[in-house]
Amino acid sequence: MNDKSSPSEPLTWGVAATVSRDAFVRQRAGRKRPGTRHFVPGAKIWVLPVIWGDGGDQRYVVGTRRGTGGRSLIRLVMNTDYLVNYRVRPVYSPKLYAAMGQPGGPRLYPSREEAGEVVRWWKWERTRMPHLLLQERPGEMHNADETCEFCDGRDAARAGVGVEGNPYTEPSHAPAGTVDWWSTDHGMWQSGWLTETHRVVVHRLSDLGLQHIALDRRRMRARAESTARTVVGRTVAELEADGLGRNRLRFIRGDYQPRVMDGIVHAWLDETDRVIRTQAG
Binding site for Zn ion (CB under 5 A): 148, 150-151
Residue whose CB is nearest to Zn ion in the complex, by number: 148
User: In the complex, what is the shortest distance from the CB of residue 207 to Zn ion, in angstroms, rounded to a whole number?
Assistant: 19
108 versus 129: smaller Cβ distance to Zn ion: 129
Q: What Cα–Cα distance (Å) separates residue 154 from each residue in 22, 151, 253?
A: 20, 5, 26
User: In the complex, what is the shortest distance from the CB of residue 190 to Zn ion, in angstroms, rounded to a whole number?
Assistant: 13
User: In the complex, what is the shortest distance from the CB of residue 127 to Zn ion, in angstroms, rounded to a whole number?
Assistant: 5
83 versus 151: smaller Cβ distance to Zn ion: 151
62 versus 210: smaller Cβ distance to Zn ion: 210
| Widest distance between CA atoms in the chain | 66
d(CA 45, CA 83): 9
150 versus 182: smaller Cβ distance to Zn ion: 150
HEC string of the chain equals CCCCCCCCCCCEEEEEEEECCCCEEECCCCCEEEECCCCCCCCEEEECCCCCCCCCCEEEEEEECCCCCCCCEEEEEEEHHHEEEEEEEEECCHHHHHHHCCCCCCCCCCCHHHHHHHHHHHHHHHHHHHHCCCCCCCCCCCCCCCCCHHHHHHHHHHCCCCHHHCCCCCCCCCCCCCHHHHCCHHHHHHHHHHHHHCCCCHHHCCCHHHHHHHHHHHHHHHHHHHHHHHHCCCEHHHHHHCCCCCCCEEEEECCCCCCCCCCCEEEEECCCCEEEEEEEC
User: In the complex, what is the shortest distance from the CB of residue 151 to Zn ion, in angstroms, rounded to a whole number?
Assistant: 3
54 versus 140: smaller Cβ distance to Zn ion: 140
User: In the complex, what is the shortest distance from the CB of residue 188 to Zn ion, in angstroms, rounded to a whole number?
Assistant: 8
User: In the complex, what is the shortest distance from the CB of residue 261 to Zn ion, in angstroms, rounded to a whole number?
Assistant: 7
21 versus 38: smaller Cβ distance to Zn ion: 21
User: In the complex, what is the shortest distance from the CB of residue 146 to Zn ion, in angstroms, rounded to a whole number?
Assistant: 7
46 versus 189: smaller Cβ distance to Zn ion: 189
Neighbours of 34 (CB within 10 A): 20
88 versus 148: smaller Cβ distance to Zn ion: 148
Picking from 21, 59, 4, the residue whose alpha carbon sits closest to that of residue 259 is 21
User: In the complex, what is the shortest distance from the CB of residue 77 to Zn ion, in angstroms, rounded to a whole number?
Assistant: 27
